[in-house]
Amino acid sequence: MSLSVVILAAGKGTRMRSSLPKVLHPIADKAMVAHVIDAAKQLNAENIYVVYGFGGDVLKAELTNKNGDDELIFVEQKEQLGTGHAVDMASPNIKDNENVLVLYGDVPLTKVSTLQNLLAVKPDNGMGLLTVHLANPTGYGRIVREAGTVVGIIEQKDATPEQLKINEANTGILLANGGDLKRWLSNLSSDNAQGEYYLTDIIAACHAEGKTIATAHPESEVEVEGANNRVQLAALERAFQLREAETLMLAGASLRDPNRIDIRGRILIGQEVQIDINCIFEGEVFLASGVKVGANCILKDCSIGENTIIKPNTIIEGAVIGDNCSAGPFARIRPDSTMNNDSHVGNFVEMKKTTLGTGSKAGHLTYLGDAQIGQNVNIGAGTITCNYDGINKSKTIIDDNAFIGSNSSLVAPVFIGSTATVGAGSVISKDVEQEELAVARSKQRNVKGWQRPIKKS
């Protein structure tokens, strides 16, 4: 039987104190609702309906443009009349002969495996319900059972003192046949303390028809926790990061402190990877075996080769670093840059659209932009490639075994031949051929008796 998913995302989130729709507040740099959508996709849902209300234009633009979810079906809930009413907004699109899974846009950490368990337990003649046992279920609807069988859900405000002692709580996540769901929704009543149409009332309707209500449970409470304010949002962020840290460690990475790492994308690792504190990983990052990442580094959409050391406070984005390299501390490797095997950049070196050849080094205080650098080249401290004339960018080519003296400026376009040498302090604007020495600096004058300027009174 096919599956459709209805994601409830209409809440304003007043307690967030924000003009942004609640479900767009991020966990790991991705909107909460985007995490839920990703889970639905992994279940191979045929249709994904997003029920929106406040800030609908912003929500649709964010999900359609930033996340590329042009296959989503958006359904508007103009009036906020409860969860049952919200799901009912999608009813005209729901088929009788499909399963329908209801999820929540502000509950981002539900595991796909948990949802798969829910799909597995649902009987053909009944529904599946995700419940959780809580030490303190205050605020949650309670699962009412008779002789072990689920017969209904009672909301906190409508519960009797005896029912409030129940610690099995409703998560709101459920799975039902489309035809059954539409029938139950059409019969909902708003005769309750809140004057709303509760989705939870369909549980009693299911039981009244003699159908079975099967339950599944998450591995941990955090899977079904939502965020109604920024304190709860921060708690979910940390829970997510601890989960990602645990996954990394089980895959073989050593983390200096699992509480001080931020993963805002996906990391693939080899063996014996070491990561120090306060590192941020964004996009797609690959760390090969033996990589060491120092403290306070930011790595985004990059690949790091075997046994390479990324020293503290280094930023790498959109770059490829080879085997047995080192970068940093305080280096910045920008997009479209490549460091080939056994190359090295040191403190306060910046690369952009540059290839550094095998065995080449740029140790200190250097900018290399739009440069092609061969093998075993030494770039002296303070060297810059002057690649921009105010309108166009030009390329610097440095051939194998060249030596660039400290404090040199290479004015592109320019070519430095193999085994050529550039004297320290030179401004090179013409090509230097193979094995030549280029010195381009004015003759030194020593002025005797020169008076230093003095401060005017």
> Mind telling me the catalytic residues?
364
Cα distance between residue 196 and residue 352, in whole Å: 58
Look up residue 128 and give its two tokens. Answer: 């599946």
Spatial neighbors of 162 by CB under 8 A, at least 6 apart, are: none
Please report the DSSP string for 33-77 in residue order: HHHHHHHHHHTT-SEEEEEEBTBHHHHHHIIIIIS--TT-EEEE-
Report the amino acid identity of residue 124.
D
Residue 457 burial (10 A CB sphere; 0-12, 13-18, 19+): exposed
Cβ neighbour number for residue 450 with a 10 Å cutoff: 6
Cα distance between residue 282 and residue 29, in whole Å: 9
Look up residue 287 and give its two tokens. Answer: 């760390």
- Going by their DSSP bridges, the two strands 126-133 and 26-27 should be labelled as unpaired
User: Do the Cβ atoms of 238 and 261 come closer than 8 Å?
Assistant: no
User: Do the Cβ atoms of 108 and 25 come closer than 8 Å?
Assistant: no
Task: Return the CA Rg of the chain.
Answer: 31
Distance from the first to the final alpha carbon of the chain: 90
Q: Which of 106, 147, 126, 115 is nearest to 217 (CA)?
A: 115
Cα distance between residue 34 and residue 351, in whole Å: 34
**Could you identify the residue written with the tokens 């920008």?**
334
Cα distance between residue 34 and residue 15, in whole Å: 21
User: Do the Cβ atoms of 14 and 23 come closer than 8 Å?
Assistant: no
